[in-house]
Amino acid sequence: MNIDIITLHPELLHSPFQHSILKRAEEKGLLTVTLHQLRNYAINQHGQVDDYQYGGGAGMVLMIEPIDQCISELKAIRTYDEVIYLSPDGELLTQPLANQLSLCQNIILLCGHYKGVDERVRQHLITREISIGNYVLSGGELAAAVLVDAIGRLLPGVLNNETSALEDSFQDNLVAPPVYTRPPNYKGWQVPPVLLSGHETNIKKWRLEQSLSRTQQRRPDLYRLWEAE
């Protein structure tokens, strides 16, 4: 998979992709993330990519021309499945959405900044808008890192255990059950005996019960979705 990220602040994204699972994905040749500095497409020698908004109001707006030139240059190289704008009013990122995007081959992510982008970018150049939550960030870079991580870990061959991602929270509208490791008894705090029993059927049953209980208590919205399935 190829993910091209258009940003004013590529330095914010260097670290997230140079460690852990995403680094492993790139080393295996399963994921390529390329950062593109939007100022390379500035409208003048001063590096201008933003301007005041028509009609007045506080805050600058990213201009359509630099964004269009960057996207057009990328599209001349390859065909993209999605051109995504990270926006607080976009479609909420969920596990099913991450699953869907992990099947793509090529994706562009556009990171907004200031007061956002010229609306014509959203109307004519973007295929999808995604939000990582009901809050506002200073820019789309951190949201892009979250999205890439959510997608990248799902690519076949990235995780050492191929079934691990299938057992994550939200894959079936349930949160994950509690997990334990050694020692079995620490300060009198004990691991549930069923997990030490070696009885696979009972362990699966216990984990499902715990997932259901936790989801009902902590995420009743998800529990209602699970009941409706």
Q: For 129-168, write each residue's pLDDT tens digit.
A: 999 999 989 999 999 999 999 999 999 999 865 555 555 5
- Cα separation, 138 vs 135, in Å, equals 10
Position 168 scores a pLDDT of: 58
229 has pLDDT over 90: no
Q: What is the CATH number of the domain that holds 8?
A: 3.40.1280.10
Last residue within a domain, chosen from 119, 152, 185:
152
Last residue within a domain, chosen from 152, 179, 205:
152
Position 165 scores a pLDDT of: 55
Position 164 scores a pLDDT of: 54
Position 162 scores a pLDDT of: 54
Would residue 37 count as lying in a domain?
yes
Structure-token pair, residue 55: 């009609």
Give me the number of domains the chain comprises. Answer: 2
The reply to whether 106 and 147 lie within a common domain is yes
Determine the straight-line distance between the first and last CA of the chain, rounded to whole angstroms.
31
Mean pLDDT across 27-33: 95
The reply to whether 102 and 204 lie within a common domain is no
Residue ranges making up the domain that contains 101: 2-152
- Residues 6 or more apart whose CB falls under 8 angstroms from that of 34 comprise 2, 3, 4, 5
Distances (CA, A) of 77 to 8, 70, 168: 21, 11, 35
For a pLDDT cut of 90, what percent of the chain falls above it? Answer: 81
Would residue 85 count as lying in a domain?
yes
Which residue did the predictor score with more confidence, 162 or 35? 35
Cα angle 132, 227, 174; round to 5: 45
Q: Which pLDDT band holds residue 169 (cuts at 50, 70, 90)?
A: low
- Cα separation, 84 vs 122, in Å, equals 9
Pair 109, 139: CB distance under 8 Å: no
Q: Which residue has the tokens 């509690």?
A: 178
Would residue 131 count as lying in a domain?
yes
The reply to whether 69 and 18 lie within a common domain is yes
